[in-house]
Amino acid sequence: MGTGGPVVTAGWSSGWSTWQLVVGVLLVVVGALVGLRLHRWAGRGDYRRPGDEPRRAGAPRWLLPASTLGPALLWLALTLRGHAALAVVAVPLLWLLAALATVDLDVHRLPDRLQLPAYPLVVLVLAGLGWATGDASPVLRSLLATVLVLALGGIGWLLAPRQGLGLGDVKLAGLLAAVLAQLGWSQVLLGLWSGLALGGATALLLVLTRRMGRRDHLALGPPLIVGAVVTLALG
């Protein structure tokens, strides 16, 4: 069944073509180079501010393999389902999300200087894809989803306790919603709610194992990212 554009399509193809596999291999190579730079950046802690309380020394062990293999795997997962146009946005965004998760896990902050520039870039790329495919509906859906998530998240931030939803989490959710909305409204809900559920389950586990107190703050960015990426790959 066709949907009028390559961004949203139903069903799975029979297998990867040669060009998809070639691009996947190239992404592994590029991912390794980007991952090494991110690893050095995280090891230096360039994002830390005076007064921060770092929770680790050096770069996290998962950063290099995630940066190397993650984009290629996401590319193959999306193109296998006919979402090559969406992969143009989602795959490079994965490196930014890895950097954001690194910072949030270390100092519990999602820096504006990493997040805010991504907004106009994502909008421009999505608009270009809409123009190229002649279908503006996914772009409009992404814009509406972002506005709704930012508005609802802003209300939640105002009402949440100090240890709850952070403003950086709201901005991250809006960015993730823009990409998820390319697949549909159900993927926006599934991606964000699964991230929140994962965050809640993680917090509960940490409290039960006494690795976190009831009043301690949980880095919500990584669970939101995991929920969104898994939804993009499988949804």
What's the average model confidence in pLDDT over 84-94?
A: 94
Residue 52 lies in a domain: yes
**Segments forming the whole domain that contains residue 179:** 18-234
Residue 144 lies in a domain: yes
Residue 7 lies in a domain: no
The tens digit of pLDDT for each residue in 159-174 reads: 875 556 789 999 999 9
pLDDT at position 8 is: 41
Residue 11 lies in a domain: no
- Report how far residue 97's alpha carbon sits from residue 93's, in angstroms, rounded to the nearest whole number: 6
Residue 5 lies in a domain: no
Q: How far is CA 56 from CA 41, 46, 113, 132, in A?
A: 14, 14, 22, 45
Residue 8 lies in a domain: no
pLDDT for residue 90 is more than 90: yes
Please count the structural domains in the chain: 1
Of 151, 153, 136, 159, whose CA–CA distance to 221 is shortest? 153
Residue 126 lies in a domain: yes
What's the average model confidence in pLDDT over 66-75?
A: 97
Q: pLDDT: is 96 or 205 the higher one? A: 96
Residue 118 lies in a domain: yes
pTM: predicted TM-score of the whole model, two decimal places? 0.89
